[in-house]
Amino acid sequence: MFVSLDGVRLAYPSDYGEVLALDGLTMGIEEGEFAAVVGPSGCGKSSLMRLATGLHLPQSGAIRVADKPVTGPLSITGMAFQNPSLLPWRTTLANVMLPLEIVRPHRRRLKHERTAYTQKAEDLLSLVGLEGFGARFPWQLSGGMQQRANLCRALIHDPVLLMLDEPFGALDAFTREELWAVMQDLHAQKRFTVILVTHDLREAIYLADKIFVMSARPGRIISEHRVPFPRPRPMDITYEREFVDLVQELRGEIADARKEVA
Amino acid sequence: MILTLLKSPRAAPFIYAVALIILWELAVRIGDMPVYILPAPSVIVGAIVKYWSPILKNSLVTLWTTLAGFLLALVGGLALGLLVGWSKAIYSGLYPLMVGFNSIPKVAVVPILVIWFGIGVVPAIITAFLIAFFPVVVNVATGLATIEPETEDVLRALGASKWDVMTKIGIPRALPYFFGSLKIAITLAFVGSVVSETIAANAGLGHMMLAAQSQFNVPLVFAGLVMLAVEGIVMYAVMAEIEKRTTGWARRGGVR
């Protein structure tokens, strides 16, 4: 397993006492696999993201990424959130290149090989359909374009693991589908491992190889589904019988998980 | 013609200023106000022309003491603001101290400064510094305290140190707040230096006005006030321009 969480428990203090976010969570993802995590709201999906990137350490259980136990922030990961969080004082290109100023060994090489790195960032921008927008400031871009740039920033340092926390959640339906296609192409081309946290079941099935369903808090994995559809997947597939059946099945499981709390 | 002028926002400041001066002149003449109570603007202009040499000399002294105190306030305020914004613990430790210190009227500090440094420009510079530096600290610390947690997560997940987060996000983000505080700081710096000059100095507009007052030379006192107003407006305009030029991204340039 490339990413493995084994019996993970995470609790954090809050104003109402200690909140148990995850308990007994076990999951495994192969290298190059596209995994999606779905579940009722507040089930600790975002805590999962913070654990797998090493931003938080669990109280108990083991987390391994790329055959090493996770003990702190992992610079081999890239992250993108629902909020594009681009820095408004930097151009789009400079925003995309920000991780290169942080991550070793790029931060040492950046000064001498700026042209090569700039070219790389521009290539990535054109890959997501933002060719020629590098000199614009983020606030001059539409929401969909900002999210494309955000994906580029998450990928510029060639991470082997990409963590996506509802990155398309705030976009309109058409832009969202456009970005699903962009995401699928990026994954086909670069073959990184992905963990996508989402509320959107169509999104999860369209993009993922494997889907994990989480229970209500404290979160653990209650079921695991393989998505059988061959790649590349056309957008029309989302309206076909088998696809819709899978959506219904997942819906049912999440509805049951919600009932348990209520 | 006059109506269109009145509606133009560019001409408005001049029209209002001229109107005020005319009103003042008329009020003094019609009310037959004695010159030692309220001199008419024309009399004040006369005083400026008559005493131009000491006025110029003292204006320059006030200007440089104010600027010296102001610059110290910028450097000190920026440094302390970054320190306070660095961590929650430093913030909660230093903030009450700073609030307490800031609530002391600075006039009350001047006698102590005179004991330490004697009469002259040093107390004026320090008073200007003390009064101007608080808004700078508060603004810089606010800028740092309002970093979006997601932005910080993205950097920290890449292995960024606290210093990286500060230089890549914190400081650029705090700059509009910093430049915004300059306008307030320069105005306060003038208050500080003039207060100190009226208590213990041998030069400067405050000192000159005090001397003129003791000789009942009221037009010269008012001439000093006018010079202070002029210096204040000019410095404010300079700071506003600096703010505008340095923080274009925070104003979004108006284009979308």
Q: Which residue of B153, B158, B172 is in closest CB contact with A75?
A: B158
DSSP of A46-85: HHHHHHHTTSS--SEEEEEETTEE--S--TTEEEEESS--
- Cβ distance B249 to A55 less than 8 Å, yes or no, reads no
A-chain residue closest to B170, CA distance: A87
For chain B, say whether A142 makes contact (Cβ under 8 Å).
no
Distance (Å, whole) CA A212 – CA A214: 6
Q: CB neighbours (10 Å) of residue A232?
A: 11
* Residue closest to B223 by CA, chosen among B204, B203, B207, B209: B209
For the segment B57-75, the average pLDDT, to the nearest whole number, is 94
Within 8 A of B256 by CB-CB distance, chain A residues are: 139-140
- Note the pLDDT tens digit of each residue in B198-239: 888 888 899 999 999 999 999 999 999 999 999 999 999 998
Confidence check: pLDDT of A151 > 50: yes
ipTM above 0.95, yes or no: no
For chain B, say whether A47 makes contact (Cβ under 8 Å).
no
A-chain residue closest to B252, CA distance: A139
Residue whose token pair is 């340092």 = A157
Confidence check: pLDDT of B35 > 60: yes
Within 8 A of B157 by CB-CB distance, chain A residues are: 53-55, 73-75, 77, 79
SS3 (DSSP) at B89? helix
Confidence check: pLDDT of A28 > 70: yes
User: Are B159 and A103 contacting, i.e. CB atoms less than 8 angstroms apart?
Assistant: yes
For chain B, say whether A94 makes contact (Cβ under 8 Å).
no
Q: Which residue of A55, A99, A140 is in closest CB contact with B153?
A: A55
Res. B89 pLDDT band, cuts 50 70 90:
confident
Q: Which of residues 50-79 of A touch B (CB under 8 A)?
A: 50, 53-55, 72-75, 77, 79
Within 8 A of B249 by CB-CB distance, chain A residues are: 88-89, 137, 139
Res. A262 pLDDT band, cuts 50 70 90:
low
Q: Which residue of B156, B159, B249 is in closest CB contact with A137?
A: B249
Distance (Å, whole) CA B139 – CA B117: 30
Quote the minimal CA–CA distance from A61 to chain B in Å.
Answer: 20
Strand partners, B85: none
**Segment among A36-40, A218-222, B8-12, B106-110 with least mean pLDDT:** B8-12
Strand partners, A8: A25
Mean pLDDT of chain B: 87
For the segment A176-199, the average pLDDT, to the nearest whole number, is 90
B-chain residue closest to A137, CA distance: B249
Structural domains of chain B, with CATH? 52-247 (1.10.3720.10)
Q: Torsion-angle region of residue A25: left (phi > 0), alpha (psi -120 to 50) or beta?
A: beta
Beta carbon pairs, A and B, within 8 Å: 64
Distance (Å, whole) CA B90 – CA B102: 18
Residue B165 corresponds to which tokens in the numbers above? Answer: 């987060």
- Cβ distance A102 to B158 less than 8 Å, yes or no, reads yes
Residue whose token pair is 């084994």 = A6
SS3 (DSSP) at A9? strand
- Cβ distance A73 to B249 less than 8 Å, yes or no, reads no
Q: List the single best residue of B154, B179, B251 to mutate versus A (max A Cβ within 10 A).
A: B154
**Segment among A39-48, A245-254, B179-188 with least mean pLDDT:** A39-48
- Cβ distance A98 to B157 less than 8 Å, yes or no, reads no
Radius of gyration of chain B from its Cα atoms, rounded to whole angstroms: 23
Distance (Å, whole) CA A219 – CA A43: 5
Within 8 A of B250 by CB-CB distance, chain A residues are: 88-89
Residue A256 corresponds to which tokens in the numbers above? Answer: 């049951």
Structural domains of chain A, with CATH? 1-76+199-262 (3.40.50.300)
